[in-house]
Chain A
Amino acid sequence: MSPEKIEGLPREMIALRVSREVQDGMYVNLGIGIPTLISNWIEGKDVCLQSEIGMLKTGALADGDQVDQDLINASCQAVTELPGTAYFDIAESFGMIRGGHIDVAVMGALQINARGDYAGWSNPSRGLFVGNVGGSMDLCAGAKKLYIAMEHTTKDGEYKIVNELSYPATALGRVSMLFTDLAVIDITPKGMVLKEVMPGLTPEMVQSVTEPKLIIDPNCKEMEL
């Protein structure tokens, strides 16, 4: 039986909260979906966005006359250049990803567990043995830190934070922080530590929509947005 769904923050606010972890001097890769929205919140920071298509210093989304079909990000959106943008080929791009040169990768997920395993590349409800893996597993293998940004439960209120993955794993034990519309959770060797909750929620309410037992940080606070 599904827990009772809690209405959470809009996707843009999840992105805003993750953006606080993105600091000057970082090379960052943003996955498709909520992670892409983080780019709206880092203006003014000295941060370099890598797009695995083969671009460093990816600029803002392109609009109107700026749209160039030869200039897209890895989420297939028309983007712009910044002063200092560099382009390179795909083997170079994944060399820098696997080679440990990306400081933070932020990905979406379908499921995650307390060991930092996550599933995101294939939804079995589609009825196929295959899925769209893209560059997600390479980023998991190579990024120094891997964060997940996602909605806390499914649209129907089912657990996405689970004891055991029932969907095919993207990577095992690689996720260190989880950002949802309800909470910020650290993934530690002891398990999931609840650090922040959406304003107005209690840790117990977050626990009610989270399958694994959460460790409540003594300093657990409301998210500042």
Chain B
Amino acid sequence: MNKVLPSLEEAIADIKDGAIIAIPGFFACGVPRALLQALIKKGTKNLTLTCGCGPLLGAADELKQLTLNGQLKKVIDSYGLFRSASKGMQDPFEQAIRAGKIEFEVYPMGTMAEKYRAGGAGIPAFYTPTGVGSVMENIVNEITDKRTPKETKVINGKKYILEYALQPDYAFVHAKYADTEGNLRYAKTARNFNHVMATAAKITIVEAENIVEPGKMDGDNIHTPGIYVKRIVKVERPKFAITID
């Protein structure tokens, strides 16, 4: 069951305009940067990128390109804006959000994590205490402040919000090690959203820093079993600055 492809271009060849793609990463840590660059080169349009904690701020050059190329329809994230308001005003992505050219929707980070976990585990929706008493009891986006309420329920005297699972069309995943059949290991905190997104997506595409033969990874120490992985491409270890501002 060899899932290794020779190029990123081939790995993303079937992605069509309008696709929904999960992008892992906690700021720059664990972002599938090579796959994002391939997506820019391919020029796919009308994309929805579902994130978790600011991977597009970490991949700021790629975000700028995707925005300027007009490839983005919508972004979902818990932390998607530059921290500095003045930097944000200069940023093409934030300008596009303000102009209503890109939709931007916000959920708490743990809710994003659970949306993917549920999506990969056959759970259509879940009740969470997170966000009760805040505007997160509504759908929060930049289109309007007239917000649509989410369903809530009182369970054992405590209020909870109903949140729905996410099953993106694709997940782009960055792994430290893969075997050719798709078993994956991540490095340290670069794991973050990579595993849950791999489980949630219909098609998971992995960029791996190292690819080994089956049997070369310790079966007791696999983070993502190969069943969740469709395609693997070898990439160089990316270089990036550790910063948010």
Task: Tell whether A and B belong to one assembly.
Answer: yes
Bound-state CA distance A127–B52 (Å) is: 23
CB distance from A77 to the nearest CB of B (A): 7
Q: Taking the complex as formed, is B117 at the interface, i.e. its CB lies under 8 A from any CB of chain A?
A: yes
Residues of A within 8 A of B176 (CB): 70
Bound-state CA distance A130–B145 (Å) is: 9
Q: Taking the complex as formed, is A82 at the interface, i.e. its CB lies under 8 A from any CB of chain B?
A: no
Q: Closest B residue to A93 by CB, please name it.
A: B113
Q: Taking the complex as formed, is B149 at the interface, i.e. its CB lies under 8 A from any CB of chain A?
A: no
Residues of B within 8 A of A170 (CB): 134
Bound-state CA distance A131–B53 (Å) is: 12
Inter-subunit contact B26/A168 (CB<8 Å):
no
Inter-subunit contact B242/A76 (CB<8 Å):
yes
Interface size of A by Cβ–Cβ distance < 8 Å? 50
Inter-subunit contact B78/A133 (CB<8 Å):
yes
Inter-subunit contact A70/B130 (CB<8 Å):
no
Q: Taking the complex as formed, is B43 at the interface, i.e. its CB lies under 8 A from any CB of chain A?
A: no
One digit per residue, 1 when the CB lies within 8 angstroms of any chain A CB and 0 when it does not, for chain B 102-144 equals 0011111111011011000000000011111111100011111
Q: Which of A41-49, A136-144, A193-201, A205-213 contacts B (4 or more CB under 8 A)?
A: A136-144
Q: Which of A17-25, A50-58, A175-183 contacts B (4 or more CB under 8 A)?
A: A50-58
Inter-subunit contact A168/B116 (CB<8 Å):
no
Q: Taking the complex as formed, is A219 at the interface, i.e. its CB lies under 8 A from any CB of chain B?
A: no
Inter-subunit contact B83/A132 (CB<8 Å):
yes
Given the interface contacts A72-B189, A89-B191, does A135 sit within 8 Å of B109 by beta carbon?
Answer: yes
Bound-state CA distance A74–B193 (Å) is: 13
Bound-state CA distance A125–B116 (Å) is: 32
Interface residues of A in 71-109 (CB under 8 A from B): 71-74, 76-78, 87-91, 93-94, 97-98
Bound-state CA distance A135–B113 (Å) is: 10
Q: Taking the complex as formed, is B85 at the interface, i.e. its CB lies under 8 A from any CB of chain A?
A: yes
Inter-subunit contact B114/A137 (CB<8 Å):
no
Q: Which of B4-12, B27-35, B64-72 contacts A (4 or more CB under 8 A)?
A: B27-35
Q: Closest A residue to B121 by CB, please name it.
A: A91
Bound-state CA distance A70–B175 (Å) is: 11
Inter-subunit contact A133/B109 (CB<8 Å):
yes
Given the interface contacts A72-B27, A94-B109, A169-B133, does A128 sit within 8 Å of B188 by beta carbon?
Answer: no
Q: Closest A residue to B30 by CB, please name it.
A: A70
Q: Taking the complex as formed, is A223 at the interface, i.e. its CB lies under 8 A from any CB of chain B?
A: no
Bound-state CA distance A217–B46 (Å) is: 60
Inter-subunit contact B53/A134 (CB<8 Å):
yes
Inter-subunit contact B188/A91 (CB<8 Å):
no
Bound-state CA distance A134–B81 (Å) is: 11
CB distance from A152 to the nearest CB of B (A): 22
CB distance from B149 to the nearest CB of A (A): 15
Q: Taking the complex as formed, is B36 at the interface, i.e. its CB lies under 8 A from any CB of chain A?
A: no
Inter-subunit contact A128/B223 (CB<8 Å):
no
CB distance from B18 to the nearest CB of A (A): 23
Residues of A within 8 A of B141 (CB): 129-130
Given the interface contacts A76-B243, A89-B223, A135-B108, does A129 sit within 8 Å of B113 by beta carbon?
Answer: no
Inter-subunit contact A129/B140 (CB<8 Å):
yes
CB distance from B105 to the nearest CB of A (A): 8
CB distance from A76 to the nearest CB of B (A): 4
Q: Told that A76-B28, A141-B128 touch, could you supply 19 new A-B pairs with CB distance under 8 A?
A: A53-B26, A53-B53, A69-B239, A70-B176, A70-B188, A72-B27, A76-B242, A89-B196, A89-B223, A90-B196, A123-B85, A126-B88, A130-B141, A131-B81, A132-B54, A137-B110, A138-B108, A169-B133, A170-B134
Tell me the A residues contacting B by CB distance below 8 Å: 51-55, 67-74, 76-78, 87-91, 93-94, 97-98, 117, 123, 125-138, 140-142, 168-173
13 A-B residue contacts at CB 8 Å? A54-B191, A69-B29, A70-B176, A72-B189, A90-B195, A91-B116, A94-B110, A130-B141, A133-B108, A135-B53, A138-B111, A141-B130, A169-B133
The 4 A-B residue pairs with the shortest CB-CB distance in the complex, in nearest-first order: A94-B110, A138-B110, A172-B133, A70-B187
